[in-house]
Amino acid sequence: MAARALSIRSLEPRALADPVLVLPAAVALGLFAASSALSAGASETWVGVDLAVAWSFAGAAVVALSRPAFRRVGALMVATSAAWFIGYLQFSASSLLWTAGWLLGSLYFALVIQVVLSYPEGRVWSAPARVVVWAAYVATVGVQLLRGLFQIDGRNLLLVRPDQNLADMIGRAGAALALVIGIALVVLVVCRLVGSRAVARRVALPLLAGAVLAMPVFEVRMAAYVLGDIPLGDRLERMDQLTTILIPLGFFAGLLWMRLRRTGVSSLVIELRESGVGTLRHRLARALGDPTLEIAYWLEGTRGYVDEAGRPFELPSSTGRAVTQVLAGGAPVAALVHDPALLDDPDLIESVGATAGLVLENERLAAEVRAQLAEVRASRARIVAAADDERRRLERDLHDGAQQRLVELSLKLRIAQTGADPATAMALERAQDDVERALGELREFARGVHPSVLREDGLDAAVEVLARGASLPVEVRGCVGKRLPDAVELAAYFFISEALANIGKHARASQATLELAQRDGVLVIAVVDDGIGGAEISKGSGLAGLVDRLAALDGTVALNGAPGQGTRLVARIPCGS
């Protein structure tokens, strides 16, 4: 069959942006800032480090902005890249620009903290993470603003009261707060990685690991400032800023891993052509790296989804799971329910969905057949249940109606015989005998419709009655020991009754054995005789009808009856206990 055109569509909107201006703007800004700094006598190494870090964030932002899943964090990376050069305003002769550069020169630190604690969704993870982010802005802008009120410098427009000692004390307090923020970031990152699912962990691990690796130098630098060792802190500043490049490099490493995952999808084509390598769900889960993957198949006609077994499947609406729909020729085929972290790499999902599209369509057809079969089974079970209910009603009506009236009639005939002349008494006695025979036949019929002993005392007692009433000796082995669902007990009773009746009519057996057992929620009944064998479950026979009854309960019947070796008839009925 020719494969139809396959497409895949995420159920979440995808709005792509073109970030072509970000990198040229970052390069131009960096060159302008570097030129200004070098003209003012700044160190070439110092400027080179800043350019490397700022441009690495700009490059990561270009890639992030082109992917819907990373657009928010991409915007933060753009701001980080630009903020890296704000401090260069201090090279300006303008007091206003100097003050702005001095006040916002460390803003990049708070932005880096926000990038890390909101990756990859671009939204800060949790309430503790939000506290840390706000603390980072306080430690940079807030502390500098307060410090500027006392910082002695002729260009400082924030100065209110000159007090360099107080300004330095505020600076050390800000360094202490930054030290705590660094420790809190490491703790939050570790908790995030430990608590996240495997897919989300793989996506975020490279960048978050880069952030953790960048922290030790930063912590030592802040500790030096807190202890008053300003020269050591200043010497570590360039190294501290250089290690920050590990964060955008981690972002690129994560993208490279995603690219390698997409390259590995080619092996899925081979797996789909082979048998014995797991179900389709397992194969797709391996290709996507998401063991929680579920597949729902579109069922035409019902306008709904079913699972692999054909059971109705409700697509999740919570944010904890993501849904990607697979289309063939514009029509829905299946839906992949997966970890939301996979939306960070929509190309991977699209590649896997397109590769498995034809197989998914075939599986959908198989699931549709299974759903129809399940409905047939359910319908047959409802028919059997309705028939059993009717049997119970008929048996109850016979017991409470005709049977009671015949008993009353028998008593009246017996009373009428008293004081009657001999001829009349003999006629009444014959009439009473006829009533007794009719009553016996009615009771026998009622037991065939629905045995009262089964209803009142359970299957074990009913089996004993059947064994005693058989036309040959029957040994009963084992028991159920407790009540089972009505449908199971009734099906088991009629199976045993029909089996014993067939033995008495056709097997020429001298004895029979009836075995009862309950194993792993399945009632097992074996009826064995020492007769001539050769029995068959022929169409239209009583056993054939019982086979259909048991099938409605997902039960099975097995017959072993070679000629001259007796017959063994075994029924297995799920009983849910």
pLDDT tens-place string over residues 79-121:
888 888 888 888 888 889 888 888 888 888 899 999 889 887 7
pLDDT at 12: 37
pLDDT at 577: 57
Structural element, H or E, at residue 338 = strand 331-338
Q: What is the pLDDT of residues 406-442, one digit of tens each?
A: 666 667 767 777 767 777 767 767 776 666 666 655 5
| CATH number, position 522 | 3.30.565.10
312-313 and 556-560 beta bridge pairing: unpaired
Integer Cα distance of 63 and 252 in angstroms: 9
Asked if 142 and 57 sit in the same domain, the reply is yes
Least confident residue range of 39-43, 255-259, 392-396: 392-396
Domain boundary among 328, 355, 373: 373
Residue 181 lies in a domain: yes
Asked if 322 and 341 sit in the same domain, the reply is yes
Residue 263 lies in a domain: no
pLDDT at 11: 40
pLDDT at 493 over 70: yes
Residue 52 lies in a domain: yes
Residue 431 lies in a domain: yes
pTM over 0.85: no
DSSP letter (8 states) at residue 86:
G
**Domain, as residue range, for 463:** 458-574
Handedness of CA 347, 348, 350, 351 (dihedral sign): positive
Helix ranges restricted to H, 227-331: 230-243, 246-263, 266-273, 280-288
| CATH number, position 128 | 1.20.1070
Domain boundary among 449, 483, 509: 449
Residue 386 lies in a domain: no
Domain boundary among 257, 286, 311: 257
Rounded percentage of the chain residues whose pLDDT exceeds 70? 67
Asked if 80 and 205 sit in the same domain, the reply is yes
Q: What is the pLDDT of residues 326-355, one digit of tens each?
A: 766 666 777 777 777 666 556 566 666 555
Give one word for 521, left, alpha or beta, with left for phi > 0 and alpha for psi -120 to 50. left
Integer Cα distance of 361 and 4 in angstroms: 10
Mean pLDDT of 224-251: 83
pLDDT at 184: 92
Residue 245 lies in a domain: yes
Integer Cα distance of 394 and 389 in angstroms: 9
Helix ranges restricted to H, 334-457: 346-355, 357-400, 402-417, 422-449, 452-457
* Beta bridge mates, 336: 295, 324
Mean pLDDT of 217-234: 84
Asked if 529 and 466 sit in the same domain, the reply is yes
Residue 305 lies in a domain: yes
Mean pLDDT of 231-237: 80
CA distances from 54 to 49, 99, 113, 218, 280 (A): 9, 22, 15, 17, 46
Do 466 and 448 meet the contact criterion of CB atoms below 8 Å apart? no
Asked if 50 and 162 sit in the same domain, the reply is yes
pLDDT at 129 over 50: yes
Q: What is the pLDDT of residues 19-62, one digit of tens each?
A: 667 778 878 887 888 788 788 777 888 888 888 888 888 888 88
* Domains contained in the chain, number: 4
pLDDT at 195 over 50: yes
Q: What is the pLDDT of residues 359-393, one digit of tens each?
A: 555 555 555 556 555 555 655 655 556 555 555 66
What's at 432, amino acid-wise? Answer: Q
Integer Cα distance of 344 and 197 in angstroms: 14
Average confidence score pLDDT of the chain: 75
Mean pLDDT of 528-553: 73
Residue 1 lies in a domain: no
Asked if 480 and 425 sit in the same domain, the reply is no
Closest residue by Cα to residue 93 from 150, 39, 163, 15: 39
pLDDT at 573: 86
Place of tokens 């001259």: 564
Mean pLDDT of 174-188: 90
Structural element, H or E, at residue 207 = helix 198-226
Q: Label residue 1 by pLDDT band (50, 70, 90).
A: very low
Contacts of 409 (CB under 8 A, 6+ apart): 435
Asked if 85 and 211 sit in the same domain, the reply is yes
Asked if 408 and 292 sit in the same domain, the reply is no
Cα-atom radius of gyration of the chain, to the nearest Å? Answer: 42
pLDDT at 472 over 70: yes
Asked if 439 and 462 sit in the same domain, the reply is no
pLDDT at 8: 40
Q: What is the pLDDT of residues 434-465, one digit of tens each?
A: 666 666 555 555 555 456 677 777 888 888 88
Asked if 466 and 506 sit in the same domain, the reply is yes
Asked if 475 and 444 sit in the same domain, the reply is no
pLDDT at 15: 34
pLDDT at 134: 93
Asked if 525 and 419 sit in the same domain, the reply is no
Mean pLDDT of 11-17: 38
